[in-house]
Chain A
């Protein structure tokens, strides 16, 4: 399974869990599965065109998916995904 680390802002929409396990696939399929299980998540992560919002950073094994294949980045067994609000730091 793939472990997705859920930021505090989203936890109340995910049964207050710090991490959620999803099936392998891609970042897009992982977000889809999250949405199937926790209503309302997709709107928070994706904009009206279905792209990951600029206000959300998605990391696969500590690498920003914008340096990988964005939402098409593959997720294999054991990979770790972090969702992090973009507006931090500096």
Chain B
């Protein structure tokens, strides 16, 4: 393997200028985002279906297409989460075939962010950083805190101060310095951009973003392998910055181009909460650009009013023929319950957004009823209990008496019969 592994350079997505593979994220000529360029000829010789199949079942089985120079050192157990054939949910939504890619059980912190953090911290260690940091809506903070602890790195995470308790505790427990900012995520993000300019830290989603974002591709690689090396017809992805949606598209392009997957046509649909829908609003209006918003939604993990990859997410939906749609807070809760009651999967609010949007797109005919779709569930419901408490029924409390239990059963049966 060469000094840079299978990476060639960082390349501006706008003007194509190339930069060395350091901790930097924007082009100094036009502020365009930098992206990792790979040596696909070498990758093609090394990454075959057979080679992949013989490797451990983690996201690192696709390591040639992930931006680290040597072997990964942080988060080596991450990924290869279940792709669940969701027949009961398919019946409820009225579609022929449906799968749930369940990153609610990703390791170690129960969200898709473990993928991007594994890449970002492995690369940070390669570049010699001792301190890592992030701006987060919660899941990223959890993952950076946990993976930094396991790697022995100093860790600062910056979050909006009004996050769900579960997400705050899930960062604090790892010993990270957790800084709550009185403001929206976009304000946290701006502050972090300024801090990153002053301190020589590896900010996973600022100066390390070109590497970090590539980790999301592994979710798409796994979907294709788990579908028998096939690209799904329809994929529904929730959007905060929009990065995950663009990287799932890139994963389909890469596997397709390298002959690892069959299927050359796919549609990628974007899901947002109505209380923070800059990307879907623009998509529905047929615009190529979005208008920033001040978020107001229970889907706090998606509450980014100025989405960094909004422009590129719009482009992917347009190019693939996908659609954007959004759902209200009540529809988000309904989506969480529907997924839980049909498939036994408890997703966080973002998962409720994805299910709710899939339901709408199927009802609108944008995802045809005789087609097959994959829903990307990105985080675990145990972290956002606050959003559903009081909306998922109540415990029936009785004394430890058989008579009371049977009386309760009879009462419930009679209520169900009259309902």
Q: Which of A's residues lie within 8 Å of B, judged by CB?
A: 5, 7-10, 12-13, 18, 43-44, 53-57, 59, 62, 64, 66-67, 82, 84-90
Contacts of A62 in B (CB 8 A): 187, 190
* Chain B residues within 8 Å of A88, by CB: 25, 135, 189, 192-193, 196, 205-206, 209, 308
Closest to A88 in B: B206
Q: A44-B29, A89-B192 are in contact. List 20 more A-B contacts (CB 8 A).
A: A7-B193, A9-B28, A18-B197, A18-B198, A43-B29, A53-B30, A55-B31, A59-B190, A66-B292, A84-B190, A84-B193, A87-B25, A87-B33, A88-B25, A88-B196, A88-B205, A89-B193, A89-B241, A89-B308, A90-B304
CB < 8 Å A-B pair total: 93
B26 contacts A by Cβ under 8 Å:
yes
Q: How far is the CA of A62 from the CA of B243 in the complex (A)?
A: 24
24 A-B residue pairings within 8 Å (CB atoms) = A8-B196, A9-B26, A9-B31, A10-B28, A55-B31, A55-B32, A56-B31, A57-B306, A64-B292, A67-B294, A82-B190, A84-B190, A85-B25, A86-B306, A87-B26, A87-B308, A88-B25, A88-B135, A88-B189, A88-B192, A88-B205, A88-B206, A89-B135, A89-B241
Docked-complex contact A8 and B205, CB < 8 angstroms: no
- Given A53-B30, A55-B31, A90-B243: A84 in contact with B194 (beta carbons within 8 A): yes
> Which residues on B sit within 8 Å (CB–CB) of A55?
14, 26, 30-33
Inside 8 A of A67's CB, which chain B residues have their CB?
A: 292, 294
A44 engages B33 (CB within 8 Å): no
Residues of B within 8 A of A10 (CB): 28
Closest approach, in angstroms, between the C-beta of B199 and any C-beta of chain A?
11
Inside 8 A of B186's CB, which chain A residues have their CB? 64, 89
Interface residues on B, range: 35 or more
In the bound complex, do residue A66 and residue B197 qualify as a contact, i.e. CB atoms below 8 Å apart? no
Q: Which chain A residue lies CB-closest to B289? A: A54
Q: Is the CB of B209 within 8 A of A87?
A: yes
Q: How far is the CB of A58 from chain B (nearest CB, A)?
A: 11
Q: Which residues of chain B have C-beta atoms less than 8 A from A12's C-beta?
A: 28
Q: Is B240 an interface residue (CB 8 A)?
A: yes
| Docked-complex contact A90 and B308, CB < 8 angstroms | yes
List 9 A-B pairs, minimum CB-CB distance, nearest first: A90-B241, A55-B31, A87-B33, A89-B189, A85-B26, A84-B193, A8-B197, A88-B206, A9-B28
Task: Tell me the complex Cα distance, A7–B209, Å.
Answer: 16
CA distance A12 to B272 in the complex (A): 39
Complex alpha-carbon distance, A88 and B308, angstroms: 6
Q: How far is the CA of A84 from the CA of B193 in the complex (A)?
A: 7
Q: Are B309 and A90 in contact (CB under 8 A)?
A: yes
Assembly CA distance A12 to B197 (angstroms): 13
